Structure 1
Amino acid sequence: MLRGLIAGLLLALAGLPALAQGQPAPSRAIQCSAPLPSDQAWRVGSGFMMMEDLARHLNTSAPSLPLGPVRQTSKAVPTLEIAVSRPDWLTPAEWRHAFFEAVAYPDGISPIELRESHLQRGTVLPPSPQDGETVVSVLFPTLDSGWRPSSWQVLLLLCLDPVQQGASALRAQGRELRAYARQPLFVSTLRLSAAVGLLTVLAAYLVLAFAAARIHARQYEHSRRLLGPGAPAPLAYALRPTVIAQDSFGYCSLSRFQVLLFTLVLAGVYAYVMGRTGELPNLSQSVLTLLGVTLTGSTLARLTEGSPMQTANRLWLLGTGVLDPTPRLPRWTDLVESDGEIDVTRVQALLFSLFAAVALVVSGTGDLENFVLPDQLVTLIGISQAVYVAGRALPRDSAKRLNEEVASIRAAEQRAMADPADAAARKDFETARNAIASSLRDVFSERFCESRLRGLQPGERAQPPGVA
């Protein structure tokens, strides 16, 4: 008994190499058997066809499978979509049980001079054949290498399982290669397509930076005076997103930053997909909704854009020198700050926008036409935009309080100027002057000149900029 077990084990181990040789690696063979001559009896096959035999078969036969357009998708791994129609000689039942294989060889090689080394095997994703046209997806990782695009001949092979035809069981395990089709295809590379997308974003951003450098030249001169020798070059200063997305008062606008973010991301993804597929891609409904929400929010935010100060009070602050008349420098904190404090509605809108932009880059590059954002995320972005715009439109408590305090100090100044000997009027002016400092600091931050306010006297005015 023991001897029999040992002998059986040795025979099994000895037969493993032969078995491995009888089942070639999928990369060197396709899962179809070569068609046998009509005068030969059917026999049990291995289910595989070596590439050398496939090349020989392709050299001596002609394509007879109706093939539609072949297009490359935008996925990172080269993926081809091949539209194939059911041949007239194939019944719908046979068609639904069809098995596909795909190979490719470099364009320019004569169909009668194919060799094993020319053929590259693709991985066919399991299709669902329809009675009419069926789209077959094939992965071809070996077609994408380096930077330069290449031209290929793609062959789709139709294999049929004889068992499904009701034939003898002797024909089992032997899918037969019944027909194939050939179609040329120009394949782009992932590196080149990604470079096209990145260069598109870079070119668009540089154009915006050049425009911002010219528009905000006065602001840059002010920043150079503040920073001294460490000030960046004009273009380097304008390359900051905060400079490009700022409003007319020198604040980095959250709504403009969102529009800038989605515009650049979508432009890069669109250029990448176009470079990858060679076609102008369609935009999904989620992308259009996302752009619509951000553009609407930006437009409404601009309608409510304005200074929190009343004109008369703002002129008084500028005239007395309490408020620095030089241009304000935008900061990153403007995106989440409002009236000297963190605005959670801005934080929410910014975070959800960043999530949507990352999702567009990660998923949209693979299939921009069918890119879908969760409805909850789109709703949250819309709510955040609505709350953000409503917050800008409604009167702010700090601005309202500051306007009242400036009006109070102006009235006290007029009484003190009308009667310089009135000690009570002068005391009221000093009290209002000391009380207004905290409100000015909250609203205008670094533009508030506190030392100027402390020494301010009734009727005193600052010299205009540039006057000695």
Structure 2
Amino acid sequence: MLRGMIAMLLLGMLWASPGQAQALSRALQCSAPVPRDEPWRVGSGFMVMEDVARYLNSSAPSLPLRPVRQTAKAVPTLEITLARPDWLTPAEWRNAFFEAVVYPDGISPVDLRESHLQRGTVLPPSPDDDLTTVSALFPTIERGWWPSSWQVVLFLCLDPTQADASPLRANGRELRAYARQPMFVSTLRLSSAVGLLTVLAAYLALAWAASRIHVRQYEHARRLLGDGAPGAFGYALRPTVIAQDSFGYCSLSRFQVLLFTLVLAGVYAYVMGRTGEMPDLSTSVLTLLGVTLTGSTLARLTEGSVMHTANRLWLLGTGVLDATPRLPRLTDLVESDGEIDVTRVQALLFSIFAAIALVVSGTGDLENFTLPEQLITLIGISQAVYVAGRALPRDSAKRLNEEIAAIRSAEARVLADANDANARKEFETARNAIASSLRDVFSERFCERRLRGLQPGDRVPPPAEA
């Protein structure tokens, strides 16, 4: 019997909880003022929405209100700034209590009903002597995709003076005055769509430009892939094609600039669509862009062929090095001289972390978005090491230049004297030894079969015109 009673009691509590929560959500904590000629009434300290609607229908706003603005947060949040009225002292102003409601715009003040009102959750403000900014959350005011128009009402509540206080009253805060202002409220769906479409439009424009620039590279890719090759525009949609350098390698610094540019453009468009204002950029965002742009500029200054011009011409002329355009790959972001470059991996990973943080946190408050100083410093160090690595001479490239110079010298001696056995032996020795260096530097562009059959004076014919 006892267990049955406990079970019934728990079921009753669970059954009653939603109704109680709904009743509280339809009430304001401010109590209506009681005329001085009437005694204090014992009450819960809450005003139901019916009383709020009656009050708004029969009174006029008297609080000086600044323009209401919407923040970029995912939950619809309104920031309301109001000035201290003259009839309040600074001390009373700092101790004021606020409540907020909204109702659809277009409803006449005298026709306002309880069902029209939606209560907001007011966050604790930080007032000063003259101004107070109140943030109120309204999770239920978004309607579908399109912005909606609302009347925003902010109530000012004050504790009564000590002379008017009564121990019979549960809550002493009284509704003294209110402010009202219309505003449009954007939707999360529309703002997110604006941000995504901005990124998509920018990326498609870059892909279209890449498809027009890298025509010869695409023709080579189509010959390699055959019937499975995508169209020119589909091929250019790859980020490796957009971020490649003049030698057909996907550049890490260009990829970082592309990543941060697209992410920031999307976040900026989202915030504009959400707030209707052009947001300011925080110091962290500007620093992050400055580091990546500086790294990209310095990397381009140090960008150049690893081969001496004469040696490169010899490789192309003999057919040892494939003259067709190189196809960029994702592995180019972390590869250097045929091996994984840990500095590239570090720079890539922390750049991705920073971009994710910008999307997650920057969309809510782009103006005050901050990254840890250690992360920005680490990205800067990675950029510096990456640029320095490109500027310093590579051991494999230096060794390869010396080996090519040796085989060219032996070839010249053989061509000068076909009976010079020593010169021919040196040529064959250098030809056999150079294979590993060419494979490390040029990977798939190195034609090993051509090198093995190379004889002094062999040259490939120029490509026939189409």
| TM superposition score category, shorter chain reference | over 0.9
CA distance in structure 2 between the aligned counterparts of 1:166 and 1:380, rounded to whole angstroms = 62
Query: Residue 179 of structure 2 aligns to a residue in which SS?
Result: strand
Give the corresponding residue for 1:403: 401
Give the corresponding residue for 1:93: 91
- Is the contact between residue 24 and residue 48 of structure 1 (CA under 8 Å) also seen in structure 2? no
- Is the contact between residue 65 and residue 82 of structure 2 (CA under 8 Å) also seen in structure 1? yes
- Is the contact between residue 336 and residue 344 of structure 1 (CA under 8 Å) also seen in structure 2? yes
- Is the contact between residue 44 and residue 170 of structure 2 (CA under 8 Å) also seen in structure 1? no
Give the corresponding residue for 2:207: 209
Specify every segment of 5 or more residues in structure 1 that has no aligned partner in the other structure, as ranges. 1-12
Query: Residue 280 of structure 2 aligns to a residue in which SS?
Result: coil
CA distance in structure 2 between the aligned counterparts of 1:24 and 1:369, rounded to whole angstroms = 36
CA distance in structure 1 between the aligned counterparts of 2:383 and 2:136, rounded to whole angstroms = 42
1:219-298 equivalences under 5 Å are 219-298=217-296
Give the corresponding residue for 1:34: 32
Aligned length: 458
Tell me by how many angstroms 1:17 deviates.
Answer: 11
Tell me by how many angstroms 1:368 deviates.
Answer: 0.1
Give the corresponding residue for 1:145: 143
CA distance in structure 2 between the aligned counterparts of 1:405 and 1:111, rounded to whole angstroms = 90
1:4-403 equivalences under 5 Å are 25-162=23-160, 167-403=165-401
Tell me by how many angstroms 1:22 deviates.
Answer: 9.3
- Is the contact between residue 242 and residue 252 of structure 1 (CA under 8 Å) also seen in structure 2? yes
CA distance in structure 2 between the aligned counterparts of 1:21 and 1:176, rounded to whole angstroms = 26
Report the RMSD for the aligned CA atoms in angstroms.
Answer: 2.3
Q: 1:21 to 1:399 in 2, by over 3 A?
A: closer
**CA displacement, residues 391-411 of structure 1 (integer Å, 9 cap, x when unaligned):** 100101010011001101111
Tell me by how many angstroms 1:360 deviates.
Answer: 0.3
CA distance in structure 2 between the aligned counterparts of 1:461 and 1:15, rounded to whole angstroms = 92
**CA displacement, residues 231-276 of structure 1 (integer Å, 9 cap, x when unaligned):** 1111110000000000001000001000000000000000000000
Aligned partner letter, 2:358: L
Q: 1:405 to 1:14 in 2, by over 3 A?
A: closer
CA distance in structure 2 between the aligned counterparts of 1:306 and 1:51, rounded to whole angstroms = 73
Q: 1:208 to 1:23 in 2, by over 3 A?
A: closer
Query: Residue 109 of structure 2 aligns to a residue in which SS?
Result: coil
CA distance in structure 2 between the aligned counterparts of 1:22 and 1:194, rounded to whole angstroms = 35
Give the corresponding residue for 1:7: none
Tell me by how many angstroms 1:39 deviates.
Answer: 2.6
CA distance in structure 2 between the aligned counterparts of 1:158 and 1:242, rounded to whole angstroms = 58
CA distance in structure 2 between the aligned counterparts of 1:451 and 1:19, rounded to whole angstroms = 81
1:380-459 equivalences under 5 Å are 380-459=378-457
CA distance in structure 1 between the aligned counterparts of 2:130 and 2:214, rounded to whole angstroms = 61
Tell me by how many angstroms 1:380 deviates.
Answer: 0.4
Query: Residue 140 of structure 2 aligns to a residue in which SS?
Result: helix
Query: Residue 100 of structure 2 aligns to a residue in which SS?
Result: strand
TM-score normalised to structure 1 length: 0.94
- Is the contact between residue 254 and residue 350 of structure 1 (CA under 8 Å) also seen in structure 2? yes
Aligned partner letter, 1:178: R
CA distance in structure 1 between the aligned counterparts of 2:314 and 2:407, rounded to whole angstroms = 10
Q: Out of 123-132 and 199-208, give the one that drifted further.
A: 123-132
- Is the contact between residue 336 and residue 343 of structure 1 (CA under 8 Å) also seen in structure 2? yes
Give the corresponding residue for 1:6: none
CA distance in structure 1 between the aligned counterparts of 2:239 and 2:14, rounded to whole angstroms = 64
Which aligned segments of 4 or more residues in structure 1 are displaced greater than 4 angstroms?
Answer: 13-24, 163-166
Tell me by how many angstroms 1:164 deviates.
Answer: 6.7
Q: 1:89 to 1:17 in 2, by over 3 A?
A: farther
- Is the contact between residue 45 and residue 169 of structure 2 (CA under 8 Å) also seen in structure 1? no
Query: Residue 125 of structure 2 aligns to a residue in which SS?
Result: coil
CA distance in structure 1 between the aligned counterparts of 2:199 and 2:121, rounded to whole angstroms = 34
Tell me by how many angstroms 1:70 deviates.
Answer: 0.6
Q: Out of 81-90 and 157-166, give the one that drifted further.
A: 157-166
Aligned partner letter, 1:224: R
Q: 1:92 to 1:16 in 2, by over 3 A?
A: farther
CA distance in structure 1 between the aligned counterparts of 2:153 and 2:449, rounded to whole angstroms = 81
CA distance in structure 2 between the aligned counterparts of 1:297 and 1:270, rounded to whole angstroms = 23
- Is the contact between residue 152 and residue 186 of structure 1 (CA under 8 Å) also seen in structure 2? yes
Q: 1:236 to 1:23 in 2, by over 3 A?
A: closer
Tell me by how many angstroms 1:14 deviates.
Answer: 11
**CA displacement, residues 400-427 of structure 1 (integer Å, 9 cap, x when unaligned):** 0110011011111111212212222111
Tell me by how many angstroms 1:96 deviates.
Answer: 1.8
Tell me by how many angstroms 1:36 deviates.
Answer: 2.0
Aligned partner letter, 2:319: G
CA distance in structure 1 between the aligned counterparts of 2:352 and 2:18, rounded to whole angstroms = 52
Tell me by how many angstroms 1:167 deviates.
Answer: 2.8
Give the corresponding residue for 2:5: none
Tell me by how many angstroms 1:129 deviates.
Answer: 2.2
- Is the contact between residue 251 and residue 328 of structure 1 (CA under 8 Å) also seen in structure 2? yes
Aligned partner letter, 1:261: L
Specify every segment of 5 or more residues in structure 2 that has no aligned partner in the other structure, as ranges. 1-10
Query: Residue 148 of structure 1 aligns to a residue in which SS?
Result: coil
- Is the contact between residue 123 and residue 139 of structure 1 (CA under 8 Å) also seen in structure 2? yes
CA distance in structure 2 between the aligned counterparts of 1:77 and 1:282, rounded to whole angstroms = 21
CA distance in structure 2 between the aligned counterparts of 1:313 and 1:436, rounded to whole angstroms = 13
**CA displacement, residues 161-207 of structure 1 (integer Å, 9 cap, x when unaligned):** 23777733344424211111001111000000000000000000111
Q: 1:24 to 1:242 in 2, by over 3 A?
A: closer
CA distance in structure 2 between the aligned counterparts of 1:173 and 1:379, rounded to whole angstroms = 53
Q: Out of 275-284 and 126-135, give the one that drifted further.
A: 126-135
CA distance in structure 1 between the aligned counterparts of 2:465 and 2:44, rounded to whole angstroms = 96
CA distance in structure 1 between the aligned counterparts of 2:408 and 2:16, rounded to whole angstroms = 102
